[in-house]
Amino acid sequence: MPEPIPFGQRLRSAMQASGPLCVGIDPHPALLEAWGLENTADGVRSFSLAVVEAMAGAAAILKPQVALYERFGSKGFGALEDTLSAAKAAGLLTLADAKRGDIGSTMAAYATAWLDDASPLASDAVTLSPYLGYESLRPALDLAAATGRGVFVLGLTSNPEGPSVQHVGGENSVAKTIIDQVTAENSGAEDLGHIGLVVGATIGDAPAKLGIDLAASKAPLLTPGLGAQGATAADIAKSFVSSYGQVLGTSSRDILKAGPDKTALRDKALRVRDELLAAS
């Protein structure tokens, strides 16, 4: 069988074709209600498939929030499987926002669930939590590389609690240690590596204060916080500067509230995408 195309290469192609936008699929109860849908697995399915239909050509990648499917048990996972399948059929990349992290055979099982070709939940990438140690993620890192998929490791998040862990250590902070390991792993990539980082859109000058060089990491940078959490494309460009070409501006509620009309949903996504392009 031919070697799979590396995730970083596939992602760059999608960013060049459709712009540097990641749209989160977050079927929160309030959004379902606003769309006139029931807070059920069927409502989640209808919501998600509408987002997929609207986003072809408007976003590089879609990011379903796994917890909002998981709350409905097997029916919720069925809705997620249908969403992932529809996105693939539409030519859209998918990032399962599952934030998995464990050790040994359990981590290997998580990797199989989200990154193995045979899994019904197989996505183009998955978010991971490295706080049991970066090398605890090894089964997922290696399987992603083998299958042409990617991972996004929590690096510098913008939630208020994040610095209490991530900034500990000063010049040798937890965040810098994790990002240095990602940098080493991606060193052979010509452009984007298969290991991305989750770096909040509202982190400000934290990378500079912690001595972190995001551009050197060659990591795709998932930047939650655009729109509803207050960050603008201009804010992201100011914070990321030399690494802005790696940024996937990430917006969920700010775009999703434009639904349920698919044309309005798409138009909002295109406006956000164009703002990201204009800020480069």
Q: What's 34's domain CATH number?
A: 3.20.20.70
Answer whether residue 52 is part of any domain: yes
Range 45-70 burial, b when 16+ CB lie within 10 A, else e: bbbbbbbbebbbebbbbbbbbbebbe
Q: What is the pLDDT confidence band of residue 228, given thresholds at 50, 70 and 90?
A: low
Is 36 buried (19+), middle (13-18) or exposed (0-12) by CB count in 10 A?
Answer: exposed
Question: How far apart are the two ends of the chain, measured CA to CA in Å?
Answer: 39
**CA distances in angstroms from 153 to 20, 43, 47, 111, 139, listed in the order given:** 19, 30, 27, 13, 13
CA distance 126 to 148: 12
Asked if pLDDT for residue 251 goes beyond 90, the answer is yes
Q: What is the pLDDT, as a whole number, of residue 95?
A: 98
pLDDT at 96: 98
Strand boundaries in 33-132, DSSP class E:
61-64, 93-100, 125-128
Give 182-223 pLDDT, tens digit per residue: 999 999 999 999 999 999 998 888 999 999 999 999 999 999
Asked whether residue 119 is domain-assigned, the answer is: yes
pLDDT digits over 4-55, tens only? Answer: 999 999 999 999 999 999 999 999 999 999 999 999 999 999 999 999 999 9
What is the three-class DSSP state of 206? helix
Residue 118: count of CB within 10 angstroms of its CB:
6
Q: Domain total for the chain?
A: 1
Catalytic residue among 75, 99, 257, 262: 99
| 13 is a domain residue | yes
What mean pLDDT value characterizes the chain?
A: 96
> Is 99 an active-site residue?
yes
Lowest mean pLDDT among 80-89, 144-153, 205-214: 205-214
| Phi and psi torsions of 95, nearest 5° | -125, 110
Distance between CA atoms of residues 51 and 65, nearest Å: 13
Is the separation of the CB atoms in 143 and 111 below 8 Å? Answer: yes
Q: Which domain holds residue 174?
A: 7-278
Token code pair at residue 182: 């990602």
Model confidence band, residue 1 (pLDDT cutoffs 50, 70, 90): low
> Is residue 1 situated within a structural domain?
no
pLDDT in tens, 160-190: 899 899 999 988 999 999 999 999 999 999 9
Q: How far is residue 184's CA from residue 120's CA, in Å, rounded to a whole number?
A: 31
For the purposes of burial, counting CB atoms within 10 Å of the CB of 138, is it exposed (0-12), middle (13-18) or buried (19 or more)?
A: middle
Higher pLDDT, 225 or 266: 266
Beta-carbon neighbour count of residue 18 at 10 Å?
21
Structural domain contains residue 2: no
Is residue 191 in some structural domain?
yes
What percentage of the chain reaches a pLDDT higher than 90? 90
* 138 domain residue, yes or no: yes
For 36, the token pair is: 């006139």
* Amino acid in the structure at residue 114: W
pTM, full prediction: 0.96
| Contact of 59 with 269, CB cutoff 8 Å | yes
> Is 126 within 8 Å of 151 (Cβ atoms)?
yes
Is 110 a member of any domain?
Answer: yes
